[in-house]
Amino acid sequence: MDCLLVSFGLPVDKKMIDAAPNLKYIGVLATAFGKIDIEYAKKKKIIICNLPGYSTESVAEFTIAAILEHIRDLEEGKRRGRSGNYSFDGISAIEIKNKIFGVIGLGSIGKRVAEITQGFGADVRYWSKNRKKDAEKRGIKYESLDSLIQKADFLSINLAQNKDTEGIFNKSRFKNVKSGVVIINTAPMELVDIDGLIDRLKNDDITFILDHSDEMTEEDLKKVSKYKNCIIYPPIGYITEEARAAKQEIFLGNMEGFLKGKPQNVVN
Amino acid sequence: MDCLLVSFGLPVDKKMIDAAPNLKYIGVLATAFGKIDIEYAKKKKIIICNLPGYSTESVAEFTIAAILEHIRDLEEGKRRGRSGNYSFDGISAIEIKNKIFGVIGLGSIGKRVAEITQGFGADVRYWSKNRKKDAEKRGIKYESLDSLIQKADFLSINLAQNKDTEGIFNKSRFKNVKSGVVIINTAPMELVDIDGLIDRLKNDDITFILDHSDEMTEEDLKKVSKYKNCIIYPPIGYITEEARAAKQEIFLGNMEGFLKGKPQNVVN
């Protein structure tokens, strides 16, 4: 019996699965498993387990952190403070309160982003494939994707990657975002049409923030990083101490469950 | 009839008041008025009006922003991203969720800091001169000042400056804060015993964040800025576009009210 342990974002296709005839278990060291051929694995009775939710809070807090860092010009503020310059001239600052904060994809991370920004007093709206009545009861309003994109002052992309969502942030949608919008994508960059993003970055009237983790080609990465209104972080969204501890615990729990014949967090 | 318009933090003492015999109105271009001799002004029937609340949200959001910037190592993350280094090795990150978040002074800013951090899922506790039953009903727990200082993972100082609060964060209190605590002071630095702060900064096990606006002497400023665990921003806490607009509106409204014989926001 063979086990395959796959870290974040690595593809596992038919060929790889067929190369391991005794494969019975794929343990994914991440929440996302969009690049694994789960149907084919299922057909071959291979159990795939992921790590749901371990980084929910880590990513949600990073989303807010990166937005605030930008809208409060903190990097420039720190730089000045360190050099003994305590002038605020030319430092721009806006608030989250009373702004339209759009969450695209109201899964576990999106839901936390929505809840936290409600605490800031934002007008929080969402689009998701399925309506979430619970969230709506708590004042998180539903909008169609195109309407939300046109109205939002802030947009947080929190969709899972699949055939329906790849490239969902396309050229025309980038054209339609509000001037001044701050967009943050902590989800895979496959959701984004890179040329559409670049067309809009050229306009110099939006900010796009992402935490990059190998999903863009070197070429695309080079293209977007030319624009200073595209803020690229290393993949630090999901790396809090708390998330790492939860990750280990769930990963080992999954293995143990599988070995005892009671697999948990099975995704196929 | 003379009017005196005073910007943030400038002292107005008996001598200055006596130098303007026809003074009838002091308009403070700030919320804080701790350095004005309000009793003496009252005796001379001079009306003092301040700008309450215009920067509440601005300061509260900055408080959260500066804490998150620090605990997510965003400056280093941005620096790496910009230089094409997408490794997260050595970047530390912790969460606000489930931590003890202490708010010292539950006035309007402190209350908003408490509410926002509740949205993050922190265990929010406060100390204030007077108990705030409304906040307690919403789960913000009261603690004595010394107990809160010993337990908190995060501390936000939001007290007004007066005789009772000057130097309240004294040597022994700095000794008692938890190792690893992140303290942010958006209130006047007169609340802080500088030597006590420095003694603890030397230990290199706490972080102290402030936004400096002329209230420290050059000498004190030089002393604290030696420590890299003391993060000093220019005074950018209260400068959002929204706060500036509200400031103008309230300031002009105060003048108009005074001239029409119906002064508003009178503090003495």
- B103-131 pLDDT, tens digit per residue, is 999 999 999 999 999 999 999 999 999 99
Contact between chains at A120 and B116 (C-beta distance less than 8 A): yes
Query: How many CB atoms within 10 Å of residue B201?
Result: 20
Is B82 an 8 Å CB contact of chain A? yes
pLDDT of residue A251: 92
- Dist. CA A232–CA B78, nearest whole Å: 7
Per-residue pLDDT 10s for chain A (268 aa) are: 789 998 866 889 999 999 999 999 999 988 888 789 999 999 999 999 999 999 999 999 999 999 999 999 999 999 999 999 999 999 999 999 999 999 999 999 999 999 999 999 999 999 999 999 999 999 999 999 999 999 999 999 999 989 999 999 999 999 999 999 999 999 999 999 999 999 999 999 999 999 987 778 999 999 999 999 999 999 999 999 999 999 999 999 999 999 999 999 999 8
Say if residues A126 and A145 touch (Cβ distance below 8 Å): no
* Domain B56-233 class in CATH: alpha beta
Q: Is the ipTM of this complex over 0.90?
A: yes
Contact between chains at B233 and A77 (C-beta distance less than 8 A): yes
pLDDT of residue B74: 98
Is B56 an 8 Å CB contact of chain A? no
- Residue A199 dihedral angles phi and psi, to the nearest 5°: -55, -45
Q: Please report residues of A whose CB lies closer than 8 A to that of B225.
A: 81-82, 84
Pairing of strands A230-233, A182-185: unpaired
Distances (CA, A) of B118 to A68, A119, B114, B122, B154: 17, 8, 6, 5, 13
A249: closest CA of chain B, how far (Å): 17
A223: closest CA of chain B, how far (Å): 12
DSSP H or E segment with residue A184:
strand A182-185
Mean pLDDT of B88-97: 97
Say if residues A6 and A28 touch (Cβ distance below 8 Å): yes
> CB-based burial of residue A222 (10 Å sphere; 0-12 exposed, 13-18 middle, 19+ buried)?
exposed
Q: Binning pLDDT at 50, 70 and 90, where does residue B32 land?
A: confident
Distances (CA, A) of B158 to A246, B180, B188, B198, B234: 34, 20, 9, 20, 18
Say if residues B216 and B193 touch (Cβ distance below 8 Å): no
Q: How far apart are the first and last CA of chain A?
A: 19
Contact between chains at B72 and A65 (C-beta distance less than 8 A): yes
B93: closest CA of chain A, how far (Å): 4
Is pLDDT of B9 > 80? Answer: no
Is B134 an 8 Å CB contact of chain A? no
Query: How many CB atoms within 10 Å of residue A39?
Result: 10
pLDDT of residue A1: 76
- Tokens at B148, concatenated: 């809160």
Residue whose C-alpha is closest to residue B160's, from B107, B208, B96, B94: B107
Q: Please report residues of B whose CB lies closer than 8 A to that of A235.
A: 86, 88
**Cα torsion angle, A140, A144, A145, A147, sign:** negative
Q: CB-based contacts of A11: which residues, under 8 Å, 6+ apart?
A: A35, A36
Is A220 an 8 Å CB contact of chain B? no
Contact between chains at B119 and A115 (C-beta distance less than 8 A): yes
pLDDT digits 0-9 by tens, A3-19: 999 886 688 999 999 99
Is pLDDT of B40 > 80? Answer: yes
Query: How many CB atoms within 10 Å of residue B137?
Result: 8
Query: How many CB atoms within 10 Å of residue B181?
Result: 21
- Residue B102 dihedral angles phi and psi, to the nearest 5°: -100, 130
Is B85 an 8 Å CB contact of chain A? yes
Q: Please report residues of A whose CB lies closer than 8 A to that of B96.
A: 61
How many Cα atoms occupy the beta-carbon half-sphere of A136 within 13 Å? 9
Say if residues A202 and A227 touch (Cβ distance below 8 Å): yes
- Say if B2-54+240-259 and B56-233 have the same CATH topology: yes
- Dist. CA B53–CA B255, nearest whole Å: 17
A133: closest CA of chain B, how far (Å): 20
Mean pLDDT of B28-49: 91
* Domain B2-54+240-259 class in CATH: alpha beta
pLDDT digits 0-9 by tens, B170-212: 999 999 999 999 999 999 999 999 999 999 999 999 999 999 8
Give the domain ranges of chain A: 2-54+240-259, 56-233
Is B145 an 8 Å CB contact of chain A? no
Contact between chains at B78 and A233 (C-beta distance less than 8 A): yes
Share of chain B above pLDDT 90, in %: 90
**Ordered strands of the A47-49 beta sheet:** A2-6, A23-28, A47-49
- Dist. CA A147–CA A155, nearest whole Å: 12
Is A229 an 8 Å CB contact of chain B? no
pLDDT of residue B49: 95
Distances (CA, A) of B120 to A36, A69, A238, B57, B157: 33, 17, 16, 17, 19
Query: How many CB atoms within 10 Å of residue A65?
Result: 28
Residue whose C-alpha is closest to residue A109's, from A122, A121, A131, A126: A126
